[in-house]
Amino acid sequence: SNLKNNIRINFKYILLFQLMTKNNVLVFGSNGLVGSSCVRILSKSSKVSNVIASTRNDTDLFSFEKTKQKIITSKPDVVIIAAAKVGGILANNTYRTEFLIENLKINMNILESLIDYPDVQIINLGSSCIYPLNAENPINEDLIFSGKLEPTNSPYAVAKLSAIELGDAMSKQFNHTIYNLMPTNLYGPNDNFSELDSHVIPGLIKRMHDAKISEKKEFEIWGTGTPLREFLYVDDLALAIEFLINKELEKNIINVGSNEEITIKDLAFLIKDLINFEGELIFDKSKPDGNPRKLLDSSYLNSLGWEAKTNLRDGLKTSYDWFLKNLN
């Protein structure tokens, strides 16, 4: 009886200590979609004492010396690697060299700079594109390195895979705690709403809004509209990152998804309704559809107690409101 009581008391103190521990968090890439969300969420977190929002204006991540100096002066307990060169399929396929070189430099400089700091928890943001093109859905974390990559964004994927491999080497050789998060398709405030270089949701919002303003009668979308996709509101990813701070996990690769699928056609009509575009949606079936389905298996993270909170309609409305407020 006394032993059980002592165990309960000790466990209680361990939990209280974890709750009371405050972390100094350094966010690389704090101006981007993920980084800016992390700054917003973590600034309100009971786990965090201070958030250092780093951008290219204060640190040149292409320079190892400047990257290392930023880490030395910041003295972080947690480093979040949200800095990356990102873009949609067209950008990835057009600027293949830049996507590989720049992302390799960013990831390698940050990770190498942290080799001497094994007590710093590292949360590295990857992408679901690291998984093989023909991976079975839902895509489990164990399928990494198991097949050929999707050709249009393979340079970006290889850079992300290289960061995962280096992090794994550091964990085994120097006892680092590194979690590689693989989010599904992200969207939200501060996204890149570009007509050519953006991902599917910001691209559709931008082009359909312009079509509405121009009073166009038709809006063309590539493909049949039948492919299934999973989307995650960016603040849900930031909440997953907060959730993982101070956690000791068995896995170092963790999928982060919403577990909800929608066809591109239904997504387009949802955005059409949100924007109040009155024209007709035309699906150009002569154009490629891409992968027919892409759904992550997020059961591991869900089993730990995290799940996405934002439904797609609410997330799209927030994203469109932000877009309208930030029109040039």
Alpha-carbon dihedral sign for residues 107, 36, 313, 327: negative
Residue 228 in tokens: 């299934």
Residue 95 annotated among the catalytic residues of the structure:
no
E strands, the chain, in order: 23-28, 48-54, 78-81, 121-125, 178-183, 185-187, 218-222, 228-233, 253-256, 261-263, 280-284, 293-294
Cβ-based burial of 10 (10 A; exposed 0-12, middle 13-18, buried ≥19): exposed
Give 124's strand partners: 81, 180
What Å distances lie between residue 292 and 126, 258, 295, 316, CA to CA?
Answer: 22, 18, 10, 23
Contact of 295 with 137, CB cutoff 8 Å: yes
**3-class secondary structure, 51:** strand
- Active-site residue, selected from the candidate residues 13, 95, 131, 156: 156
DSSP type of residue 119: T
Residue 186 in tokens: 């992200």
Q: Point out the residues that are catalytic.
A: 156
